[in-house]
A and B are shown apart, each in its own frame.
Chain A
Amino acid sequence: NAGVTQTPKFRILKIGQSMTLQCTQDMNHNYMYWYRQDPGMGLKLIYYSVGAGITDKGEVPNGYNVSRSTTEDFPLRLELAAPSQTSVYFCASSALTGSNQPQHFGDGTRLSIL
């Protein structure tokens, strides 16, 4: 019953450092998403993927990169961390067809850039 698993749960980075947030799902979902949630705000879509090898930008992609080499994994990379990227990051997945499918979320990664 793992669902969507994100690692790490917490991380502190210095400005300019890089890191990869890991996300894996075991539900064989084709669609995967990365969101960020700033304090007191809703979720904003960073990147999404409709299947292995296919990714596309969401609302706030600047400063991030993604890859999707397998159905299960969808890592998010920060190349040059900036204070504005301090946020909680959520990975989600949904089943193949139709916009009626709920998105299943991981527990989030709380990231602080100092």
Chain B
Amino acid sequence: AQKVTQAQTEISVVEKEDVTLDCVYETRDTTYYLFWYKQPPSGELVFLIRRNSFDEQNEISGRYSWNFQKSTSSFNFTITASQVVDSAVYFCALSEARGDNFNKFYFGSGTKLNVKP
């Protein structure tokens, strides 16, 4: 079973539109961590944000915001007033705590965001 599901394979928006990327995760742990990464067309993976399972406060960073809801096991990512430079593949990831401190990541399959001028 998929630990992290990103149901939206590809989304296209016009510049300045708001867009939300969905992420649903599955875990039995009470302590876990969620991440978002951005992969621009150049191919590198860029870390965007980390949340722990005990902090459900939404977070805003400029045009980016994240909505973490444990009740629905979701960690959605919203870009406000999208720009062409936001075009990328975005990955959601789950990290589960283990006794040996090894942080194994489970990545979703990614959502490709196309922002058109």
Contact = CB atoms under 8 A, between A and B. Distances in A.
Contacts of A103: 47, 103, 105
B100 A100 contact: no
Interface-centre pick from A31, A42, A50, A98 (highest chain B CB count, 10 A): A42
B64 interface: no
B44 A107 contact: yes
Interface residues of A, number: 27
A45 B45 contact: no
Interface in A68-110: 88, 90, 92, 94, 96-108, 110
Interface-centre pick from B42, B96, B105, B109 (highest chain A CB count, 10 A): B105
Interface residues of B, number: 29
A71 B97 CA distance: 23
Contacts of B104: 45, 48, 99
Closest 6 pairs (CB-CB, A-B): A99-B103, A105-B45, A42-B107, A42-B109, A99-B95, A102-B47
Given A103-B47, A107-B43, 17 more contacts: A31-B102, A31-B103, A40-B9, A41-B110, A43-B107, A48-B102, A88-B43, A96-B101, A98-B103, A99-B95, A99-B102, A99-B103, A102-B35, A102-B47, A102-B50, A108-B43, A108-B44
Interface of A: 31, 33, 40-43, 45, 48, 50, 88, 90, 92, 94, 96-108, 110
